[in-house]
Homo-oligomer: A and B are copies of this chain.
C-alpha cells in the first residue's frame, strides 16, 4: 500500500489521528493541522537556552517538580499573564501538560456522568473529547460572527432542567470558527451568568497571534474583566507561542477550584515535564516570548491574508467564510446540508486535506462546514492548494 493509499484508508478508521499524519505526509497539501509550521519553531533560541543551562538547572529539568509547576516558571508566567490584565494574585496558577490537560482536569472536577454543560457549536475537538470522556450532556449554543448567540444562550439557561456544571468557550480566534468575541457579547454573557453559580472555562490559546493591533482592546478576556460572582477558569498554552512538543499549558482559577484540580493532577501525571518548564521559563525571562510572537504573528498574517485572497478568488459564490483576523483557521460555510466528508475524499484524491465540519459539532452531525488552516502551509502552498480544494467543492456542490 502506498503512503497515500494508506492515508486515505486510515482516514475512515480514525479521522483525527490520520489527519495528524496526513498533515505531515510529504506529498499532500495540508490545511488540516492545528499545529505551528515546523519551520517556524525558535530552534536557535532553544539551542541558546539549552546551552546556557547550568548543571543545577539541568538537574531540575531531569527531576520531578511540584505538581503546580516549577516555582521559577510560575513566577515568570505570572508576569506574562499580568501583562494581559489577568488577576493572577487573586487566583491560583497551575502548569499543566498542555492546555488540553487543564480542560480535562476541570472536566473531571466538575462533571458527573449525565451532567449538563454548555458548549459552543462549533467547538474545539480536544475539549469535546474530554467532556465526552466524562459522559457530559452537551447543550450547544451556536456561534455568530461576534461570539455565541446570546438569545440562544438565554433560552438554554431558561429552559434547561438541571443547571449546567459550566460553560466552555474560546473568545479569541476561535478554533474552528476563526472569530473574535465582541465586548458586547462578553458583557451579555456576564449579565446572564452572574449569580447563576455556573463557572466559565475560558480557553485562550491564540490571542497572541493577532493580525491587527487595533483588535487588542476588544480581545479583553472575561477573566481579566474579573466579573463578580462568576468563577472564571482561564486556560492557556505554550503550544502556539513556543512549541506544542513541550506539552505545556496552564490554568488560572479560583482557590477552591484549584484545590480540586491539584489533587486531580497529582493522580494523572504528578507534574508536568520539568525539561519543558525549564526551557519555557528561560524563554519568558530572556524576553524571547515577545520577539518570537512578534515574528510568527507577521508570518501567520501573511499566510492568513494569502488564504483570504485565494479563497475569495477561487471559492464558489455559494460558499462564505468569516475573514480571519488572527489565529490559525478559516471556517467555510457550504450550501446547507452538504456533506463535507464527500468533498474531503475528493480533495484527498487531488492531494489536499482539510477537516470536516462535524468534527467540531458537539453532536457530531452537522457537516456543511469545513475548517481550513493556514498555520502550517506557506503562502506558495496556499496559492497552490486552494484552487484544488475549490475544485473539489465544485465537483460535489456544482
A contact residues vs B (CB 8 Å cutoff): 16-17, 20-21, 35-36, 38-39, 41, 43, 46-47, 50, 55, 58-67, 97-98, 100-101, 104, 108, 126, 129-130, 132-133, 239, 242-247, 263-264, 266-276, 279
A62 lies within 8 A of B245 (CB): yes
A104 lies within 8 A of B268 (CB): yes
**Roughly how many angstroms separate A266 CA and B17 CA in the complex, as a whole number?**
9
B270 lies within 8 A of A100 (CB): yes
Q: Which residues of B contact A65 (CB under 8 A)?
A: 245
Q: Which residues of B contact A41 (CB under 8 A)?
A: 58-59, 62-63
B61 lies within 8 A of A245 (CB): yes
A46 CB, nearest partner CB in chain B, Å: 7
Given the known inter-chain contacts A59-B41, A67-B17, A276-B275, please indicate yes or no for A98 contacting B270, CB distance below 8 A: yes
5 A-B pairs with least C-beta separation: A245-B274, A62-B243, A129-B267, A38-B59, A41-B62
A12 CB, nearest partner CB in chain B, Å: 15
- Interface majority SS on A: helix, strand, loop or mixed? helix
Given the known inter-chain contacts A38-B59, A58-B46, please indicate yes or no for A21 contacting B66, CB distance below 8 A: yes
Picked from B20, B36, B104, B266, the residue with its CB within 8 Å of the CB of A16 is B266
Q: Which residues of B contact A16 (CB under 8 A)?
A: 266
A126 lies within 8 A of B270 (CB): yes
**Roughly how many angstroms separate A70 CA and B259 CA in the complex, as a whole number?**
34
A328 CB, nearest partner CB in chain B, Å: 13
**Roughly how many angstroms separate A50 CA and B272 CA in the complex, as a whole number?**
20
Q: Which residues of B contact A267 (CB under 8 A)?
A: 100, 104, 126, 129-130, 132-133
A394 CB, nearest partner CB in chain B, Å: 32
B64 lies within 8 A of A46 (CB): no
Picked from B46, B101, B130, the residue with its CB within 8 Å of the CB of A62 is B46
A63 lies within 8 A of B35 (CB): yes
**Roughly how many angstroms separate A245 CA and B20 CA in the complex, as a whole number?**
27
Q: Which residues of B contact A43 (CB under 8 A)?
A: 55, 58-59, 62
Picked from B17, B55, B268, the residue with its CB within 8 Å of the CB of A268 is B268
Picked from B101, B239, B264, the residue with its CB within 8 Å of the CB of A133 is B264
A326 CB, nearest partner CB in chain B, Å: 20
**Roughly how many angstroms separate A39 CA and B58 CA in the complex, as a whole number?**
10
Interface centre among A62, A65, A98, A274 (most CB of B within 10 A): A62
A108 CB, nearest partner CB in chain B, Å: 7
Given the known inter-chain contacts A50-B50, A64-B20, A266-B129, please indicate yes or no for A97 contacting B247, CB distance below 8 A: yes
A275 lies within 8 A of B245 (CB): yes
Q: Which residues of B contact A133 (CB under 8 A)?
A: 108, 263-264, 267
Q: Which residues of B contact A100 (CB under 8 A)?
A: 267-270
A149 CB, nearest partner CB in chain B, Å: 27
B50 lies within 8 A of A38 (CB): no
A34 CB, nearest partner CB in chain B, Å: 9
A245 CB, nearest partner CB in chain B, Å: 3
Known contacts A20-B66, A43-B59, A61-B243; can you find 19 more A-B pairs with CB under 8 A?
A: A17-B67, A36-B63, A38-B62, A38-B63, A41-B63, A43-B62, A46-B58, A61-B245, A62-B243, A97-B97, A100-B268, A101-B268, A108-B133, A130-B267, A133-B263, A244-B274, A247-B272, A247-B274, A273-B276
Q: Which residues of B contact A50 (CB under 8 A)?
A: 50
Picked from B245, B263, B270, the residue with its CB within 8 Å of the CB of A273 is B245
**Roughly how many angstroms separate A271 CA and B126 CA in the complex, as a whole number?**
12
B97 lies within 8 A of A269 (CB): yes
